[in-house]
Amino acid sequence: MGASGVVVLLAAALVACGAEDPSVEDRGASPVETGPVLTPAGAWESYPSAEVGGVLTQREGCLLLGSEVVVWPAGTTWDEEAGEVGLSDGTSAVLGEGFRGGGGHYEAATDLADVLDSAAVAELVAACVDRTSADGIVLVGP
């Protein structure tokens, strides 16, 4: 294959990947990869320290804590069978049960791209806010 053929294949590969499918490093855990758990692209250097809490529910493929879409710390897992979120420190949250922890509250319209270090993850959060008509967003700390 000549140089022009390689350029065409490379261009086709780039178009196929496109900006609509960001790399795993940019988007953190997505609902497709870890169920409904949304996490930042990487570990945060600091966390909000307000008390957060409420009953954990799942609606429209998104997790809510009370009436807010919840973003969990990096490393959080989802056990579909148990309906349980597992944080890296061993803490868990179970669907239908109350959860209390540290974190922070944000208005539903907040663009969290800088906080989450990923525009793609922020878009997933915004999509959950739209689908669920959530009152806000809550970030849970580890």
Q: Where are the domains of the chain?
A: 22-140
Q: Does the pLDDT at position 28 exceed 60?
A: no
Task: Give the dihedral of Cα atoms 102, 105, 108, 112; nearest 10 deg.
Answer: -70
Query: Please, which pLDDT band fits residue 34 given cuts at 50, 70 and 90?
Result: low
Specify the pLDDT at position 46.
Answer: 64
pLDDT at 115: 84
Longest CA–CA span in the chain (Å) reads 63
> What strand order describes the sheet that includes 92-94?
77-79, 84-86, 92-94
Distance of alpha carbon 86 from alpha carbon 75, whole angstroms: 9
84-103: pLDDT as tens digits: 999 988 999 999 999 999 99
